[in-house]
Amino acid sequence: MTDDEGCDQKAPVPLAPDAVVDACGLACPLPLLKAKQALASIASGQLLEVVADDQGSWRDITSFTEQSAHTLEGREQRSGHYHFWIRKAGGSSL
């Protein structure tokens, strides 16, 4: 599946997240910074959902998970919002 920008788009995760970050209304790089703060506050293996409306977050959060030990379990764009589900890795990999 691809988004409007031609990027691969993972299907949404059917699991309930352990924590949710509402980064709507925040411009780049704040959605990513809020996600990093939330990841620091949850336990390894827990699932974080990040919701943002800044278009740059699609690239920023995806790149962050590719460069970190955290796993991007899913992402989707709907109704002008970007949703990300990030599984926290073991240890301190921020």
Residues labelled as active-site residues: 28
Cβ neighbour number for residue 49 with a 10 Å cutoff: 22
DSSP alpha helix (H) spans, 28-73: 30-41, 56-67
52 touches 82 (CB < 8 A):
yes
